[in-house]
Chains A and B, each alone.
Chain A
Amino acid sequence: MQVAEHETALDVTRELSDFLERRREQIAQRWAEASLFRAVFTVSRDEAVEACKAVVDALAEVARGGRPEDLRAPGFDSVREQLGRMAASRAKAGYTPSQIAGEVAGLREPVTSLLRAEYDDPADPRAQANEIALTILIGTLRLVVMETTVDAGEELIARQRQQLLEVATPVIRLWDGVVAVPLIGTLDSARSQIVMESLLEAIVDQRARYAILDITGVPTVDSLVAQHLMKTVAAARLMGAECIVSGIRPAIAQTIVQLGIDLGTIITRAGLSDALAYALSQQGIVVSPRPAMGGNAR
């Protein structure tokens, strides 16, 4: 009997789907022992079994759809979040993505032994076809888990990056009405956005008239960095505060001139102390050494 190839394939995945549904309970019981599920559902075994059943159901649905290799099969949607949670908790426990992938691959073995038991003759072509389909299906499941692992990793990196940015941008109150932010390191767009926001918030909180941006620790000033600085200065001015840029090292001053960057009306000073002196004198504050009293100054 001649049957079109794709029809045979569909028959096989349907058969696999029927098998998964029929053996749902046994597979779930076996999987619940696997470290992947045990580590996440630590409290109750029933919960682990339920989670396993959800995954079996998803696989059965994907198999029924006839595309066991399809990462985007709608059948996976119902378990994607659960798998992500599992992968994330493994990642938190210090497992590498390849170790997690290995654990998922390990889910195949218990199912394969159940599948083999279905057939009297291990050489039955149907048995072999089903086993291949199952291998593909578990392989796809592994990719789905990997994908969520990578997403979780990216999220973690983004969060840490954000925290690092905030930590690296302290705004200091130098005097009543004078705040300063010493910039250290490269000033990219994300960083300068945070610098701008924290500086402007500090201006409100401290009721500051003057804000000093000290760029002593900034390795290079190109036109993009200059643009960020000018935006910060303009925003502070809109709020009623004046910005002073300090710490322009000779090399940076030369670059600025050579690049033809126009810092416009921005007030600049060589050092942080010069900037502070300017801010104080503008407010009519004079800092002078205490006159010697009674000649007993040490």
Chain B
Amino acid sequence: MTGPFATQPGPVPVLVLGDVLLVTLQGDLHDTAAERLQQDITQRIASSPAPVGGVVIDISGVEIVDSFLGRILAEIAASARLLATRTVLAGMRPSVAITLVELGLTMPGLDTALDVERALSLLGHPSPAAPTTHPEEGA
């Protein structure tokens, strides 16, 4: 018996932000949706007319990452790398990070950032609103 779901199992939207692809994962991601996302991103990078500057995957809205989703994320990053594109995983919650480490998934090949803003600046795209220099460090 299957009940109602808080999240719809539809495809995950991929936003284009300048030359960066931004993917925001929310709630409970179904396995098929995760697999579709993996194909989607690789496709987008490969077929993009202009080179893609990077992929940011925002997982701040994700409550759990198990080994399946962990593998999908690592594979997205690996295939993007083959296409000369860097992937940054942004906004992992502390509880998720602790669990992944205990599970034995430390994702060594993956770049990480505290949030999307930091991820963008890591990719060389400082968002104009964000002050990147220390306020107390005037000339």
Contacts and interface: CB of A to CB of B under 8 A. Distances in A.
Interface of A: 176, 196-197, 200-201, 203-204, 207-209, 231, 234-241, 283, 285
Given A238-B92, A238-B97, A240-B114, 19 more contacts: A176-B135, A197-B98, A200-B97, A200-B98, A203-B114, A207-B114, A207-B115, A207-B118, A234-B106, A238-B89, A238-B100, A238-B101, A238-B106, A238-B112, A239-B97, A239-B112, A240-B89, A240-B118, A240-B119
- If over half of A's interface residues share one DSSP class (helix, strand or loop), that class is named, otherwise mixed; here it is helix
Interface string B5-20: 0000000000000000
Interface of B: 89-90, 92-94, 96-98, 100-102, 106-107, 112-115, 118-119, 134-137
Given A207-B114, A240-B114, A235 B97 contact: yes
B106 A200 contact: no
B114 A234 contact: no
Contacts of B112: 237-240
Contacts of A236: 97
Contact of B98 (A196, A204, A240, A285): A196
A231 B102 contact: yes
- If over half of B's interface residues share one DSSP class (helix, strand or loop), that class is named, otherwise mixed; here it is mixed
Contact of A204 (B89, B94, B102, B135): B94
Which of A200, A201, A207, A240 gathers the greatest number of chain B CB atoms within 10 Å? A240
A154 B8 CA distance: 45
Nearest to B99: A235
24 contacts: A176-B135, A196-B98, A197-B94, A200-B94, A200-B97, A200-B98, A201-B94, A203-B94, A207-B115, A208-B114, A209-B114, A209-B118, A234-B101, A234-B106, A235-B94, A235-B97, A237-B106, A238-B100, A238-B112, A239-B112, A240-B90, A240-B92, A240-B112, A240-B118
Given A237-B106, A238-B112, A240-B114, A283 B134 contact: yes
